[in-house]
Amino acid sequence: MCGIVGCASREHPVPGLLVESLKRLEYRGYDSAGIAVLENGELQTVREVGKIKNLEAAVGGRNLQGRTGIGHTRWATHGKPSERNAHPHRNRDGSLVVVHNGIIENYLELKHGLQATGSVFTSDTDTEVIAHLIDAHYQGDLLTAVQASLKRLEGSYAIAVIHRAEPDVVVGARQDSPLVVGLGEGRNWVASDVSALLPWTRRVVYLEDGEVVVVRSSEVRIFDRGGRVVQREPETITWSAERTEKGGYPHFMLKEIHEQPSTVSDSLLGRLAGDDYRVVLDGLGLDDEELRALTRIGIVACGTSWHAGHVGKFFLEQFARLPVEVDYASESVFREPVMGQKDLMIAISQSGETADTRAALRRAQDLFGAHTLAVCNVPGSSMAREAQGLVLTHAGPEIGVASTKAFMGQLVALLLVAVRIGQARGTISRDTIRELVSGLRRLPHDLERVLKTAAKVQEIAEVWQGARDFLYLGRGVNYPIALEGALKLKEISYIHAEGYPAGEMKHGPIALIDENMPILAIATRGRTYATIAGNVEEAKARGGRIIAVVNPGDDRVARMADHVIEVPEVAEALSPMVNVVPLQLLAYWIAVKRGTDVDQPRNLAKTVTVQ
């Protein structure tokens, strides 16, 4: 939700750097974008509605040379996407500007107070109150004014502020929204995440909630909530800048779908013991004794990560033999989950910043005293730092808004967690571990084979691109994959799609079926095969048009299907990883054929830092 960046540079003009960083944050929101730079004692602001390319063109026409600046890409929360609501926002005389990611919950109350003392507001945003508030506290020192203003704010924020009287100073602050400091040679940054900084530096310091940072071209100083100086060692990011580029693919999503074999290999690195009988998982945060003492597992997540959670439930119940409850993070925080000190709460999140998941994780940790574990893709993200245990998914930066390779990483991570807990509890046999481990070792190769179905999937996309609705059916461990296939299709093609447990179809949705309804059935071999074959027959008998995902040699479901996608046969527990790929490809190709914006679908943002 919104991306922010700020830079103080000794020699180099910053406008181009800010725009380049914003391009890398565009996945966070793309309703409007803007920058402000300090040039010859004046703040110059450029703001454009729509994507960064519009801002880039406008900045290109201005020949700005300022060396201190801030930038923003917006996902609208307060006020529609328009130039007047685009950031940066200014105070009454334009002497300071601010960019903000988050929501100021008490902004109306603050706004009324500021209006009463003469502030005139020019936007519908909550952010603008921050600019007027800092102005009201400003007495020649931006840091002090920001520190005083933050005491009045309720809600979540990551901000960056510059003032025309203080060249070479960017003040940043965070509360419940991410902010990272980038350390360079002769220039330093703040940004919403490291991807914005990768072209310039790998040395970063993550800010904690309540901290304020003063960034100058030659130094960075961090202060805690009480104004005391914080010393924190920089960390080095291992992601390369190339991984945030398209590398010859037309879209990030297609590139990321094709990166899934390496997501699996990277996720397995160092986690499988050479003898194939053990999973080694550093960072779990629990020793064997604590794992044996566990009584229950809760999983909280949103969207695609929630689907991964449901596959994880299957793994954990089967291999760790513990009761598992999967919750929408956004719902769990309004209930009173039964959780205690012998329970484990797993938060699954690609970004590690999703506000609802983070809130549910904190609640489990602080209120119920449960053990917590984050399954995250972004090292250094809020959840990665806050949870007691961390299993990274090693998918590398995921830029396409529709999650693909991160989901793959989550499935692998959850399987490893389940096996690891099962090992400690003695609930999984050596033979089963060996079967899973050797299947995992082969999985990258199997995924390469699935990616070869792309041509077939494109043909199917051609036929069904005009469909109004889609039904996805799966059972058992592949039921969440049906949900995931439907989500992928609706979010990038805007076709209405529903995922359903195949056995439930006859209890209602069967009424929707006619010859215009494409039904994608996941019917690979395993314990659900015979029943799902029966469900496909029922759908076929009502005129439904079947797209079947099957294993080679299938002669029952394949015969009924209008279209067949063959995927390699793998152990049942690994079938979700294989089966999801053609569903991702189908959504991708249908979206491309419909001409939608695949990487940045309408109304969405990749990191949802508001509840």
For ligand F6R, the closer of residues 64 and 402 by Cβ is 402
411 touches ligand F6R (CB under 6 A): no
Rule CB under 6 A: is residue 354 a binding residue for ligand F6R?
yes
Least distance from C-beta 306 to ligand F6R, angstroms?
7
Specify the residue, 169 or 411, whose C-beta has the smaller distance to ligand F6R: 411
- Tell me the closest approach of the beta carbon of residue 106 to ligand F6R, in angstroms: 26
Buried b (16+ CB within 10 A) or exposed e, 307-342: bbbbbbbbbbebbbebebbbbbbbebbeeebebeee
Q: Which two tokens mark 73?
A: 């890409």
Q: Is 403 in the site for ligand F6R (CB under 6 A)?
A: yes
Per CB under 6 A, 402 contacts ligand F6R: yes
Phi, psi of 402 (to 5 degrees): -75, 120
Q: Is 376 a catalytic residue?
A: no
Residue with tokens 């990038």: 492
Pick the closer one to ligand F6R by CB: 56 or 491. 491
**CB of 365: closest distance to ligand F6R in angstroms?**
17
H helices within 61-208, ranges in order?
107-116, 128-137, 142-150
Per-residue interface string for the shown chain with ligand F6R, residues 285-324, x marking contact by CB under 6 A: -----------------xxxx-------------------
What is the DSSP code string of 436-465? Answer: HHHHHHHHHHHHHHHHTTHHHHHHHHHHHT
Nearer to ligand F6R (CB atom), residue 320 or residue 399: 399
Residue 482 has φ and ψ, to the nearest 5°, of: -65, -40
Please report how close the Cβ of residue 609 comes to ligand F6R at its closest, in angstroms.
10
Pick 377 or 528: Cβ nearer ligand F6R: 377
Does the protein bind ligand F6R through residue 493 (CB under 6 A)?
no
Q: In whole angstroms, how close is the CB of 577 to ligand F6R at the nearest point? A: 16
Question: Measured from the CB atom, is 491 or 566 closer to ligand F6R?
Answer: 491
Q: Which of 432, 413, 443, 411 is nearest to 576 (CA)?
A: 411
Cβ–Cβ < 8 Å for 495, 469? yes
What's the CA gap between 139 and 521, in Å, rounded?
Answer: 66
- Does position 177 interact with ligand F6R (CB under 6 A)? The reply is no
73 phi/psi in degrees, rounded to 5: -125, 135
| Distance, first Cα to last Cα, the chain | 11
Shortest reach from residue 246's CB to ligand F6R, in Å: 18
| 119, 156, 350, 382: residue in contact with ligand F6R (rule CB under 6 A) | 350
Give me the least distance between CB of 26 and ligand F6R, in Å please: 15
Candidates 2, 7, 302, 376; catalytic one: 2
How many H helices and E strands in the chain?
Answer: 19, 25
**Is 302 a residue of the active site?**
no
Question: Which of 356, 376, 320, 401 has the alpha carbon at shortest distance from 600?
Answer: 401
- From residue 358, give the alpha-carbon distance in Å to each of 177, 345, 352, 366, 607: 11, 12, 8, 12, 12
- Minimum distance from CB of 395 to ligand F6R (Å)? 11
Q: Which of 9, 77, 177, 349 binds ligand F6R (CB under 6 A)?
A: 349
Stretch that binds ligand F6R, among 152-160, 161-169, 248-256, 345-353 (CB under 6 A): 345-353
Cα separation, 36 vs 98, whole angstroms: 9
Closest of 133, 139, 66, 77 to residue 105, by C-alpha:
77
**Does residue 357 touch ligand F6R according to CB under 6 A?**
yes
Site string for ligand F6R, 461-490 (x = CB under 6 A): --------------------------x---
| Of 68 and 607, CB closest to ligand F6R | 607
Is 491 a binder of ligand F6R (CB under 6 A)? yes
Asked whether 191 and 197 are in contact (CB, 8 A), the reply is yes
3 state DSSP class of 179: coil
Q: Return residues touching ligand F6R (CB under 6 A).
A: 302-305, 349-351, 354, 357, 402-403, 487, 491, 608
Just list the catalytic residues: 2, 606
